[in-house]
Structure 1
């Protein structure tokens, strides 16, 4: 017969068997706190973590050239180059914060700040009544992502394998949403063509409120269509986030995720860095937009070319490099997510957001694009959908995408 001591607890009330979940939670918290990067290490990583940060030398030059009223070419060029490392820093701070907030909050963070430069440049141009720049830069960001960046990524992946595979269902869902966004931009153009007598975009309306070349009744209709569509697209985008992050998240997971990268910044440092860089970027974007008019007139560079080609390239420079690098490592799901996903963010989140901000601030931004821009957008989305619907890619498909992008750039150069 066994003694009572053989079955009696060594400590009363199960104290020798603490709750596993509570104990593990405290242990993980202690380990996490011990391994948390210090503020100094966080700062060093943020400032010296990329060779691209060398270009931060153009940041003070951007401020000086603006306040000392240097030549328009210098003001434009310095602000243009300064935004490149700032875009990279915004991405770094967002990535470091996302890694500590969990999957859902990380997705919301990336959705909100993934295209922070485009939002900042768009708001700066909107408040300066540069509505042509707002529309062209948004459309240019979409085109650069789905044509230039995706094309370069397909070619980069082609240097690794003869043919690359990716999740078909996720790619088709993303491309279908892009098609929806494309259709919503075609409808205002169709309305203007059928109901109005002018092909002049609503964005050409001067700041004094004179609606040049547009029937006032038709313009009011375009405003109603644009603002209603913007609200609906924001709702669709929220549902898409839920689809991507929760209900069908398995479709968007990489086939080979590899090892998770260790955080290089603590949460407070990343948050402060994100706020500071956002403010600095807003100043640079304001200086850049303010110099476009004079720069374009003095050096005979078409404003549509600046908005559609130059601004999107600089705003997405760091993102472009990341996409190509991921493709060369065989992470095609991540590549598709960066290229097509970023375009979806712009088309269904950033553009509607700017329309609503314009609505609230009495800047009459619409979703009406001229026929040429509308046809260009439709042709680009059609080609991308055709190429990714089989879930495979090769370098020749990348060449096709880049060729179309160069043709579009050439067309806007002579426009």
Structure 2
């Protein structure tokens, strides 16, 4: 039902987006149309990627999920970067990390916990992801911010590029570790059964065609969405920081959020955790470094330097998530704790 709704919204939303941009409609109305359309297109992209992952096999499938899992945020961020909205891009990266960990994780645990007293997932995966989260967010994001105080702009950019390359190399190594050298080593029997019985909804070529069309459409709508940020910010009193952390992050991740919650409700909380934590790792270790490298070829360069509120929010989100998930067991109260932390941060960023 939800998938059909995504197609209907996309078929209506994309033509409206084109018509609205040509005829210069009210930018607030256009902002709403663009956001809703991107959410629907992201849902279709997720569906196509899932089918391709099953058809191509687990190893290539994992790589496809890694590539397209955060494609929408990456596309929006590239256009924002081209417009010189570096603060919005950094804020959207922050929003994606805390949104995936606290909002997606929290809602998944809360909704699943209302139906089941206890939900368990692979504790080895949780511990592996915990180490990567600490490396990516606590180490690789905090070090440049501290060192930048004693560096000029050129040196800060050099440090950012160096850290970005290391993050991408380690991310690719982590994929190789999980999908090749240690595939199945830490998998429980329940997970193996689920993998064996998965069937692709669409054929390979159909999925590739739909994915290509949806990606092009997202690119077009995202470019127009970026142009509405200043008007929307002035109208509602939102700062670039708030737009990036809350609005862009939620729009870019909406379809993924829904998938995680549905999985938790079906008692497949391990998949929900993989979506929430895996997506945060993709943002921190792949999307952010790619944007830093791409900015070298643009008019506005983006060093990997986050503000103190952004850093504190990400670091505390990581440690709270690790504290809750490291036992491989969860319930509705732990979900509510994560949601409470997200609301506190949301209020803080709104008032900044």
Say which of 136, 146, 149 aligns to 2:104.
149
Contact 1:302 1:414 in 2 (8 A): no
Contact 1:87 1:117 in 2 (8 A): yes
Q: Whose helix proportion is higher, 1 or 2? A: 2
Report whether the alignment pairs 1:128 with 2:62.
Answer: no
Report whether the alignment pairs 1:277 with 2:223.
Answer: no
Shift of the alpha carbon at 1:170?
Answer: 0.9
Match of 1:267 in 2: 204
C-alpha separation between the residues in 1 aligned to 2:124 and 2:202? Answer: 35
Shift of the alpha carbon at 1:304?
Answer: 1.3
Measured against aligned partners, the alpha-carbon deviations of 1:155-198 in whole angstroms (never above 9, x if no partner) come to 122122212211111101112101111121111221234x2xxx
Contact 2:6 2:44 in 1 (8 A): no
Contact 1:127 1:363 in 2 (8 A): yes
1:21-100 to 2 correspondences below 5 Å: 49-56=3-10, 57-100=12-55
- Normalising by the residue count of structure 1, what TM-score does the alignment of the two structures yield? 0.80
Match of 1:29 in 2: none
Change in CA separation of 1:166 and 1:74 when aligned onto 2, cut-off 3 Å? same
Q: Which runs of 5+ in 2 are unaligned?
A: none
Change in CA separation of 1:232 and 1:253 when aligned onto 2, cut-off 3 Å? farther
C-alpha separation between the residues in 2 aligned to 1:322 and 1:135? Answer: 25
Match of 2:267 in 1: 330
Q: Which has the higher contact order (CA 8 A, sep 6+)?
A: 2
Shift of the alpha carbon at 1:319?
Answer: 1.1
Say which of 306, 310, 315 aligns to 1:369.
306
C-alpha separation between the residues in 2 aligned to 1:164 and 1:315? Answer: 27
Change in CA separation of 1:398 and 1:271 when aligned onto 2, cut-off 3 Å? same
Shift of the alpha carbon at 1:144?
Answer: 0.8
The range that moved more, 366-375 or 152-161, is: 152-161
Match of 2:190 in 1: 255
Question: Secondary structure of 1:367's match?
Answer: coil
Contact 1:255 1:333 in 2 (8 A): no
Shift of the alpha carbon at 1:299?
Answer: 3.0
Shift of the alpha carbon at 1:253?
Answer: 5.9
C-alpha separation between the residues in 2 aligned to 1:351 and 1:409? Answer: 21
Match of 1:191 in 2: 147
Contact 1:244 1:252 in 2 (8 A): no
Change in CA separation of 1:253 and 1:345 when aligned onto 2, cut-off 3 Å? farther
Question: Secondary structure of 2:140's match?
Answer: helix
C-alpha separation between the residues in 2 aligned to 1:359 and 1:253? Answer: 44
C-alpha separation between the residues in 1 aligned to 2:273 and 2:75? Answer: 24
Shift of the alpha carbon at 1:274?
Answer: 1.0
Report whether the alignment pairs 1:244 with 2:178.
Answer: yes
- Normalising by the residue count of structure 2, what TM-score does the alignment of the two structures yield? 0.94
Contact 2:103 2:339 in 1 (8 A): yes
C-alpha separation between the residues in 1 aligned to 2:270 and 2:189? Answer: 5
State the Cα RMSD in Å: 1.7
Q: Which runs of 5+ in 1 are unaligned?
A: 1-44, 196-216
Q: Which has the larger radius of gyration?
A: 1
Shift of the alpha carbon at 1:272?
Answer: 1.3
Change in CA separation of 1:124 and 1:399 when aligned onto 2, cut-off 3 Å? same
Match of 2:325 in 1: 388
Aligned residues: 347
